[in-house]
Amino acid sequence: MERSLLQKLVKRDTLNTKEVALFRAVNCWAEKECEKKKLKADGPAKRVILGEQIIKNSRFPVMKKSEFMNVVLKTNMLTQEETGNIIKFHGTTVDTVLMPLGGFLENERVGTPLRCCRFNIFAGQTIYCEDNYDVLQLVTLTVDRDIVLHGVSVFVDYDTWATYRATVNVYNGALCNDDSVLTSQTGLFDLVNQDSVNASYRDFDVLFDNVVVLRKNVQYCIAAAINESEVTFYSGYGKDVQRIHCGGVTFNFGDEPTIIAEFLFKVDD
């Protein structure tokens, strides 16, 4: 695995794994990389191999104190200050002012969300951005249960090679205006180095830093803007996908020919 792929993995909020298990895997990868480079696999060397992005996106405060002490501490990858702050964090109560954690996230990962795909039939239909890539491509929808929307996914033609930026906005109601935006997220996708198990397309997720609750029987609008005019997206036939049942939730879509293929969600209990 390349370090860039490991960075993306560790950064993901939707991983369905224990934090200590993820760190063990990261540490194992670093040790093997040190071996390849004929370096002594000590803490400082492994931290350099991993890079600061992987270290800072490892959620040490989420681990049990025993996990941190018995697994992380023994690797010597953290500085004395980082170690001291995390140990103090584990010893605090709700009434105690927490020590600064040096940028380490304190919230647990949300786990793997469900995926609702609105395309039942692909049949080679595509959407071309052409010269209108600044125009928002949107879909309206309602759900029959409250859900937490974690992001969306787009399907890009397998033969498309580019790096592009997608911005996704979620709006309350059918109108896309600044007053009704609930969340907004921009994702950068490198199509040059991305592989896929699919023969026709590659899928890319835009995950929201700020997830949004969609209430049942309320209309929402989700819109995407792309900064690359020559990217080809796979779509479906609107008449076939206006109602989808997924994960105990019924999604009702408008018939807009949007590039948004999947909706990543969890049921709001």
Q: Judge whether residue 62 has pLDDT over 60.
A: yes
Segment 132-153, tens digit of pLDDT: 444 557 889 999 999 999 999 8
Q: Write down the pLDDT at residue 91.
A: 72
Please, which residues have CB within 8 angstroms of residue 106's CB and are 6 or more apart in sequence?
59, 61, 62, 89
| SS3 label, residue 116 | strand
**Which range, 102-106, 147-151, 174-178, 241-245, is most confident?**
147-151
Q: Which helix (H) or strand (E) holds 56?
A: helix 52-56
No. of helices (H) and no. of strands (E), the chain: 6, 12
CA 4/CA 164 separation, integer angstroms: 17
Q: What is the mean pLDDT of residues 102-120?
A: 78
Residue 198: count of CB within 10 angstroms of its CB: 11
* Band of pLDDT at residue 130, cut at 50, 70 and 90: very low
Residue in the structure block whose two tokens are 């590039």? 259
Report CA Rg, the chain.
21
Domain architecture of the chain: domains with CATH:
3-90 (no CATH), 114-267 (2.60.120.820)
Segment 185-227, tens digit of pLDDT: 887 766 544 444 455 666 778 888 888 999 999 999 998 887 7
79-111 burial, b if ≥16 CB within 10 A, otherwise e? eeebbebbeebeeeeeeeeeeeeeebbeeebbe
Least Cα distance to 145 among 180, 169, 183, 114 occurs for 114
Q: Judge whether residue 238 has pLDDT over 50.
A: no
Phi then psi for residue 103, to 5 deg, are: 95, -5
Q: Write down the pLDDT at residue 159.
A: 61
Cβ atoms of residues 269 and 247 within 8 Å: no
Cβ atoms of residues 168 and 231 within 8 Å: no
Cβ atoms of residues 268 and 256 within 8 Å: no
Q: Judge whether residue 157 has pLDDT over 70.
A: no
Q: Write down the pLDDT at residue 93.
A: 44
Furthest C-alpha separation in the chain? 61
Q: Write down the pLDDT at residue 220.
A: 96
Q: Write down the pLDDT at residue 83.
A: 92
Per-chain mean pLDDT for the chain:
79
Q: Helix axis angle, 43-50 relative to 3-11, nearest 10°? A: 90
Helix-, strand-, coil-residue percentages of the chain, each rounded to 5? 25, 30, 40
Strands in 220-226's sheet, in edge-to-edge order, are 181-190, 163-172, 220-226, 137-143, 249-253, 243-246
The alpha carbon dihedral of 169, 170, 171, 175 has a sign of positive
Length of the chain: 269
Q: Which helix (H) or strand (E) holds 257?
A: none
Least Cα distance to 112 among 3, 264, 269 occurs for 264
* Band of pLDDT at residue 231, cut at 50, 70 and 90: low
Q: Judge whether residue 71 has pLDDT over 90.
A: yes
